[in-house]
Amino acid sequence: MATKSQAYGKATLRWQPAKDGGFEGAVIIGGERGEILSDEIEDRLVSRLRNEAGKLEPNYIGMDGAIARFLEFMPDGLRGERSVSEERDYKLAASRELNAGCCQSNRKLSPIDRALPFPGMPQAIRFCHSARAAERRVL
């Protein structure tokens, strides 16, 4: 099997079958080849190559960077006073408003019901919605 190639943003992904089985590949950007990655499954290798190519983007910050940035704005995390006063309260209010009429036994139309494109939407949607509502009542 020949080497496969795929453009991904400014990078090129290249991979091929490995001599000892499985697949190996690398990300090439600006004429520079990155680390050679190996995997037994071709699709998984391509996914890993895409992840590596994404890390080369100038705005990539990764999970650690995202956590650090969040903590700049919310130094005490999700349980801190700022998070509760600025984030949690409005989300709880929106949730209460959304769920105010969201029960099958209640004839009021909920925002979800009003958003349905036509009255004959699949029963599965309503069943899942009712199950979640029942779960919230139990909790």
Polymer length of the chain: 139
Backbone angles phi, psi at 105, to 5 degrees: -80, -10
Task: Tell me the domain boundaries of the chain.
Answer: 4-55, 64-138
Tokens 């969040």, located at residue: 70
β-sheet bridge partners, residue 2: none
For 66-117, how does the pLDDT look when each residue is reduced to its tens digit (9 = 90+)?
888 888 877 887 777 776 667 777 777 887 877 775 554 454 555 555 665 5
Q: Is the pLDDT of residue 43 over 60?
A: yes
Closest Cα partner for 49 from 34, 60, 30? 34
Residue 45's pLDDT band, with cuts at 50, 70 and 90, is very high
